[in-house]
Chain A
Amino acid sequence: MHCATRSTRSCGGWNERRAAGPGGAVSALLSVQDLQVAFRIGRDERVQAVRGVGFDIAAHRSVALVGESGSGKSVTAMAVVDLLPDNAERRGRILWQGRDLLQAAPAERRALRGRDIACVFQDPMSSLNPVLSVGTQLSEPLRTHLGLTRRQALARAEALLAEVGLPEPRRRLAAYPHQLSGGQQQRVMIAMALACEPKLLIADEPTTALDVTIQRQILELLAELKARHRMSLLFISHDLGLVGEIADEVVVMRHGQVREQGPVAQVFAAPRDAYTRALLACRPTLDGALPARLPVIDGPAAPAAAAPAKDPEAPVVLEVRGLAKSFWRREGLFGRHEFKALQGLSFRLRRGHTLGVVGESGSGKTTMGLTLLRLHEPSGGEVLFDGRDLLRLDERERQAMRRRLQIVFQNPYASLNPRFTVGQALLEPMAIHGIGAGRAERELRARALLQRVGLGPEAFGKYPHEFSGGQRQRVAIARCLTLQPEVLVLDEAVSALDVSVQAQVLNLLRDLQDELGLAYVFISHDLGAVRFVSDEVVVMKDGVAVEQAATGQLLAAPRAEYTRRLLAAVPRGVHAAPAG
């Protein structure tokens, strides 16, 4: 509703401004011209993060900076508000209503920040002070910037909380950040940003840490507030789908340079830049044809063939019946409170097939993965592997079974031991399980596996910190493969990666599945990725499977109300909206 009216109106605005000719740039609220940011490291070394970026933000418009990690999008935004670390050097011009901020006195810049330009950051939990109540934190800028008394400031804070849609705002004033959910915390952050009626709101990945349904609410709130307060919005995101919904204009960045910019409908419908095109194509989406492989940036064009059909009668490798896991919390002196993280989960996984597990945070999907591997002790149920119950094996048999069921974790920066070389990390599991005779043979296998996951031979002696996130995830996958497993649990294995890298890893996973007949349990919050890899999907909520069906069927005709809500919340870019 909001989106549709807004996008048509704003597209008209873009054309008018362009029609006004080159003079239009002067009327821009904020104009960034040839901005360069470098970071000093060491004595004479500099890292150039932003190389000559320029864009305008007109009044009452939303501009989105899009790019993958390291593209310089956040650095650009922080350069505008002068929140860069001390070792940063800025050059170029940042014009705020015609005045160059880089030439302005520090006091003037400080007055501007918080009053005319406000920021909302990615992680609301770490942006709010945990020891101060929401009311105190909200009223502080009101008192310093607007000179309100304590009573006035609190009244205004209450009004602000009501405006950002927090229920019972008066009671929330006394609440501490940890008593609020992630979405509520982000609402408080937005209320804080709105406190002084800014002309420009900078939102740096404001929904990345949030669940998809919450993300939808925050997006709607931002759009509504922007219209009501007649603000401009600078929205920074890595998610193209999101950007398509909220922004009027898009600036696509890569390696500190602008690759393409223009009205959102134009950029999405007819991208001129090769990088933008690839970025749009490599994202697994919820609609459109399902390719066998995702297109990859800087890679050979993918064949448009559809995925080969899988044998529906393949032998069942893993069967789970009524798996349950409870955590106990102590209460008082003797009381214990049971928290059911997972209850009554059942599924069957066939060789070479993939089971997608979808849910929001706290739905028990990660607990499910850890319990399957018995990294958590389950509270009940059966896990049948080749007809034997994994949960009733003794220590020695379990060790043998462990080989056949492996896990890849979400964060490749955390799942590899920083003190082990890649070689050591790969040799260790083989040594533990006595695979391969002697070190030489193991090393040979390890090197072959590294090559298989697309890493060069030089990777063997390197440490994890020398690799990018995508490469590390490949190492983690190779480590699992050393044990020749039959089932791989992929716990948000591609969620922390950039979309282009995510596409490569997803392709790799698919190749490995075809080649080795692996069965995957693919845990993710990203429905697009789940659609790409899964044959069957389980939707989880509060530890219970609310729906379980074949992927195509579930996406086309979701039966459960929750599944429908989840699907509706996924940002689909401008594909869903009428192309203006």
Chain B
Amino acid sequence: MTAASAGHLPADAPSPGVWSAAARRLRADRIGMACLGVVAVFLLLIAASASGLVAGGWQREVAVPSAPPGFAGPRPVQAPGALQAPAGPRADLSDVDPLAPRYGEWDARAAQFRAVEIQRLQTLPLGADRMGRDVLSKAVKGTEVSVFVGLMAALLATAIGTLLGALAGFFGGRLGDALEWLYNVFTSIPGILLIFAFAAVFGRGIGTVVLILGLTGWTGVYRLLRAEFMKHAVRDYVRAAQAIGASAASRMFRHILPNVSHVVLVQLSILTVGFIKAEVILSYLGLGVPVDQVSWGTMLAEAQSELLLGHWWQLTTATLFMAVFVTAFSLLTDALRDALDPKLRGLE
């Protein structure tokens, strides 16, 4: 709307800002918009799942164990096998059975309770796991956990990396040296070992996974942001800000940060994708989300043993959910980068 009405705005009206210009460029990018749609659907799904609207009962065992997906049809009923009930009248053992007098009493007590035999479904739209839980519900609930973990960990890592990178790049000197040292220590330890160490200290849980991934994943962001801040700190516009008396914090975060925001955003989304995959690996190794919760990672871990029995649907569903989200998110990131990069501006 702003773009359309820009022609006859009053002369004094502010021109479309950097952000709305970026939004306009994003809107022109068809693949970017399609990916934005996919990501939005996923986010809605996550919101619905978090508020309990969908997939609230993912733990209920609604189908027969490992029920196949609906389109594959129910599993053929297996022959009962060689053990057949013996024929002939049953022997009366009440004379020798010491418990025989109490059977009547127990039967009467049992009659007070009513056992409802759940009608277990033979098939589900996307099948069931080995406990008969709906794979679709699990995947939706797993999306919530996985994306939450990925996003929160990426936010944490980006925040740490940006802050330290800004300090190191802007001030340099002793502070820069100290941060470089910290960075070198972190990168010199093999990543998976570091993760194991953190996991051993913090114990198990979603919060721990976020913390682990955030605390180990900031190094890449730090390196990039440090370089950007070093570059920008001596630019004329920052010098000009210094000349008018802007404080160091103002120069760092009011002047430079918006100009390198495209780097931060791209790193954020790359990390999100990476952390979703890392969570899968962590859960697969048993260091991830606790057993009473589900994520794409735990689904894949379960699927390993199921696959031996030919139960492929849980693996397929989790992989499909993850692949679609991760691909859409990465492509959206690319589109965002193109839309936000100030270097690409000026062509319009």
Kindly list chain B residues whose C-beta atoms are within 8 Å of the C-beta of A461. Answer: 12-15
Please tell me the number of chain B residues within 8 Å of chain A, measured between CB atoms: 26
Distance of A423 Cα from B257 Cα, bound (Å): 19
Kindly list chain A residues whose C-beta atoms are within 8 Å of the C-beta of B245. Answer: 399, 402-403, 429, 432-433
Distance of A458 Cα from B12 Cα, bound (Å): 5
Q: Mark A64-102, 1 if CB is under 8 A from B, else 0.
A: 000000000000000000000000000000000000000
The residues in A between 437 and 467 inclusive whose CB is less than 8 angstroms from any CB of B are: 456-458, 460-463, 465-466
Cβ of A479 within 8 Å of any chain B Cβ, yes or no, is yes
How near does chain B come to A404, taking the closest CB pair, in angstroms?
11
Instruction: Name the segment of A165-173, A299-307, A409-417 touching the other chain.
Output: A409-417
Q: Mark B234-277, 1 if CB is under 8 A from A, else 0.
A: 01110111111110001000010011000000000000000000
Distance of A465 Cα from B259 Cα, bound (Å): 13
Q: Determine the residue in chain B with the shortest Cβ distance to A416.
A: B237
Kindly list chain B residues whose C-beta atoms are within 8 Å of the C-beta of A409. Answer: 236, 239-240
Distance of A415 Cα from B244 Cα, bound (Å): 12
Distance of A476 Cα from B243 Cα, bound (Å): 12
How near does chain A come to B258, taking the closest CB pair, in angstroms?
4
Distance of A572 Cα from B237 Cα, bound (Å): 35
Kindly list chain A residues whose C-beta atoms are within 8 Å of the C-beta of B236. Answer: 409-411, 414-415
Kindly list chain B residues whose C-beta atoms are within 8 Å of the C-beta of A458. Answer: 11-13
Kindly list chain B residues whose C-beta atoms are within 8 Å of the C-beta of A457. Answer: 11-12
Q: Mark A389-414, 1 if CB is under 8 A from B, else 0.
A: 00000000001001100110111001
Kindly list chain A residues whose C-beta atoms are within 8 Å of the C-beta of B246. Answer: 428-429, 432
Cβ of A421 within 8 Å of any chain B Cβ, yes or no, is yes
The residues in A between 460 and 513 inclusive whose CB is less than 8 angstroms from any CB of B are: 460-463, 465-466, 476, 479-480, 483
Q: Determine the residue in chain B with the shortest Cβ distance to A410.
A: B236
The residues in A between 338 and 381 inclusive whose CB is less than 8 angstroms from any CB of B are: 370, 373, 375
Kindly list chain A residues whose C-beta atoms are within 8 Å of the C-beta of B242. Answer: 375
A418 and B342 contact, CB distance less than 8 A: yes
A463 and B239 contact, CB distance less than 8 A: no
A417 and B259 contact, CB distance less than 8 A: yes
Known: A409-B236, A414-B237, A415-B236. A483 touches B15 (CB 8 A): no
B14 and A415 contact, CB distance less than 8 A: no
Partner of A415, one of B12, B240, B258: B240
* Interfacial residues, chain B to chain A (CB-CB below 8 A): 11-15, 17-18, 235-237, 239-246, 250, 255, 258-259, 342, 345-347
* Interfacial residues, chain A to chain B (CB-CB below 8 A): 41, 370, 373, 375, 399, 402-403, 406-407, 409-411, 414-421, 423, 428-429, 432-433, 456-458, 460-463, 465-466, 476, 479-480, 483
- Offer 18 A-B interface pairs, CB within 8 angstroms, sorted by A: A406-B244, A411-B236, A415-B236, A415-B240, A416-B240, A418-B18, A418-B237, A419-B258, A420-B255, A428-B241, A433-B245, A457-B11, A458-B13, A463-B17, A466-B15, A476-B240, A479-B240, A479-B244
